[in-house]
Amino acid sequence: MQSKELSEALSTIIPPDRVLIDDATLTEYSSDMTETPPARPDAVVKAHTRDEIVSLVRFANENRVPLIPAVARTNLGGLCLPDHGGVIVDLTEMRRIIEVNENEMYALIEPGVTFGDISAYLKEKHPSIRFGYPLSPPYTSVCANCICDGLANLSMRHGAMSEWVNGMEVVLPSGEVIVTGAGAVSPVWFGHAPIPDLDGLIFSWQGTTGIVTKMAVQLWPNLPLRKRMFLLVGTHIDAFNLMRRFCRTMMFDDIGGMTWPTGKMLFGIKRPAGKDPTEPGAFVYLDFSGNIPEEIDCKLKMVRTVLARARAEGVKSEDPIMLEDIVKLNERFAKFAEFPTTLDFLLDHGGGGLTWVGTYGPTAAWDEAANRAEQIMAKHGFAPTMVLRPMKGGHFGVFRVITIFDKKDAAETERVRQCNRELGRMALDLGFVIYKTPAWAVEMMLERMNPETHALMKRIKKLLDPNNIMNPGKWKLS
């Protein structure tokens, strides 16, 4: 279907001012921050209602037009770029917070609701409860992060964000609308049990099985006292040792470990090239909360106890530094005082490129993964910027390697591409699994995936989407 004909047809479904085919818009939607090559859509539509999406999906089936759902389009390795042309369905303007249930502690939201939106709303209207926030900008989508198995600053307690979802309203590729979780039966969206759990048909399928139009996400009590602190640690191996010890105390909301380039970038060095031997090799971030001062004091005592035991066994670490004291020394660290926040040192470096290989896997493999990653990144000329976090009480962990680069430099972009592929293969060799999987990572994972599992995924995709209109090309399902 030609561009003008497509635009005219779409304008019978979506008001014409929200059907965009101009060159500037299509160029804007053709790329993300990563090294993924640009891919141009045929049109962009800005949906406002579930009924508009239903009509759009039915039109796409009749005319075999691919649909690519998108919200903030930030750093997702091409997941919101069209493999075969088609229409990007921008859900950004569906931003209603429909309900907050304080008693059952959940919020029912639309896909365009951002972490900034829900943070401001809860502070104003429901200060006794809180949500969790990732280290991504406040304008990113809550629903998108949940669907893609992202993480946040309460993932140490509660796991990947897909585990925070009580249920969803979803427009299937057929145009049918389903509700998952208790909300399919009850007016209260209290959880996904005890009916068959259909949420798995949506999570991590990269938009190939439907478009989410509502989601119920879990909230938690907002305790009145909170402490955040950093530990400067001799080596990244020492840092990982401490992180594993701290997560076994079961007292933290969040634990994170970051290698030395992250610290240098925080202090304003945009492209750190090396580390002085006297400088720390990593730092550990600890976040905990409580109801009364005595509870906080007890947790501070536990931090000192764990640290003393680790030092006795050879771990090199400075004493904890409270975040409020660090901010007095350098206001750049104020961004860690309250989430959601924008880590501007990753976004405003001048080159425009930001990519990462993100994985979940065994925390026991952190040490080897970090050592190998350091070698791979040095070979390709990049600083070993790594972020690691224990998840769900330490049952598994995040291992993520981040690279900033100049997207205008074709040679550097190709080095990034090769570096990421080496990092991905190394992580898979050590038992990690890549999340928010770009096409190259899918290919690597399929080499190792149980073939019957992949075959079942293909059958499910064919059943739900016989005309292959939903984000075709992702997960190699057709």
Mean of all residue pLDDT scores within the chain: 93
Q: Reply yes or no on whether the pLDDT at 225 is more than 90.
A: yes
**How much of the chain exceeds pLDDT 90, in percent?**
83
48/416 Cα distance (integer angstroms): 37
Exposed, middle or buried: residue 253 (CB in 10 Å: 0-12, 13-18, 19+)? Answer: buried
Question: Binning pLDDT at 50, 70 and 90, where does residue 325 land?
Answer: confident
Amino acid identity, residue 206? Q
- 3-92 fold: 3.30.43
pLDDT digits (tens, 9 = 90+) for 347-393: 666 678 999 999 999 999 999 999 999 999 999 999 999 999 999 99
% residues pLDDT > 70 (the chain): 97
Question: At 258, is the pLDDT very low, low, confident or very high (cuts 50, 70, 90)?
Answer: very high
Residue indicated by tokens 């350091």: 374
Q: Each residue of 396-421: pLDDT tens digit?
A: 999 999 999 999 999 999 999 999 99
Give the separation between CA 376 and CA 329, rounded to whole angstroms: 34
Sign of CA dihedral 469, 472, 474, 478: positive
Residues 97-221, CATH architecture: 2-Layer Sandwich (3.30)
| Range 58-73 average pLDDT | 94
In the Cβ-directed half-sphere of 276, how many Cα atoms lie within 13 Å?
A: 4
Task: State residue 221's pLDDT score.
Answer: 97
The residue ranges of every structural domain in the chain are 3-92, 97-221, 225-434
Which residue, 333, 399, 326, 316, is CA-closest to 365?
A: 399
Per-residue H/E/C for the chain: CCHHHHHHHHCCCCCHHHEECCHHHHHHCCCCCCCCCCCCCCEEEECCCHHHHHHHHHHHHHHCCCEEEECCCCCCCCCCCCCCCCEEEECCCCCCEEEEECCCCEEEECCCCEHHHHHHHHHHHCCCEECCCCCCCCCCEHHHHHHCCCCCCCHHHHCCHHHHEEEEEEECCCCCEEECCHHHCCCCCCCCCCCCCCHHHCCCCCCCCCEEEEEEEECEECCCEEEEEEEEECCHHHHHHHHHHHHCCCCCCEEEEEEHHHHHHHCCCCCCCCCCCCCCCEEEEEEEEECCHHHHHHHHHHHHHHHHHHHHCCCCECCCEEHHHHHHHCHHHHHHCCCCCCCHHHHCCCCEEEEEEEEEECHHHHHHHHHHHHHHHHHHCCCCEEEEEEEHHHCEEEEEEEEEEECCCHHHHHHHHHHHHHHHHHHHHCCCEECCCCHHHHHHHHHHCCHHHHHHHHHHHHHHCCCCCECCCHHHCC
pLDDT of residue 278: 86
Q: What pLDDT is stored for residue 340 in this prediction? A: 77
> 225-434 domain in CATH 3.30.70.1150?
no
- The set of residues, in sequence order, having a beta carbon less than 8 Å from that of 105 and lying 6+ positions away, is 129, 218, 219, 220, 221
pLDDT digits (tens, 9 = 90+) for 67-100: 999 998 776 688 899 988 999 999 999 999 999 9
End-to-end CA distance of the chain: 22
Integer Cα distance of 418 and 441 in angstroms: 12
pLDDT at 412: 95
Q: How far is CA 284 from the centre of its chain?
A: 20
Residue-level pLDDT at 84: 85
What is the per-residue pLDDT for 326? 81
- Give the mean pLDDT of 206-225: 97
Give the mean model confidence (pLDDT) for residues 315-322. 94
pLDDT tops 70 at residue 242 = yes
pLDDT tens for 156-182 read 999 999 999 999 999 999 999 999 999
Cα separation, 190 vs 210, in Å, equals 22
Amino acid 290: pLDDT: 96
The per-residue pLDDT for range 5-46, each reduced to its tens digit, is 999 999 999 999 999 999 999 999 999 989 999 999 999 999
pLDDT over 80 (residue 202) = yes
Report the pLDDT value the prediction gives residue 99, as an integer from 0 to 100.
98
- List, for residues 338-352, the tens digit of each pLDDT value: 777 767 667 666 678
- Give the pairing type, strands 67-70 and 87-90: parallel
455-473: average pLDDT:
95
Residue 136, pLDDT score: 83
Which pLDDT belongs to residue 476? 85
pLDDT at 395 over 70: yes
Which range is least confidently modeled, 262-266, 312-316, 462-466?
A: 262-266
- Over 90: is that where the pLDDT of 269 sits? no
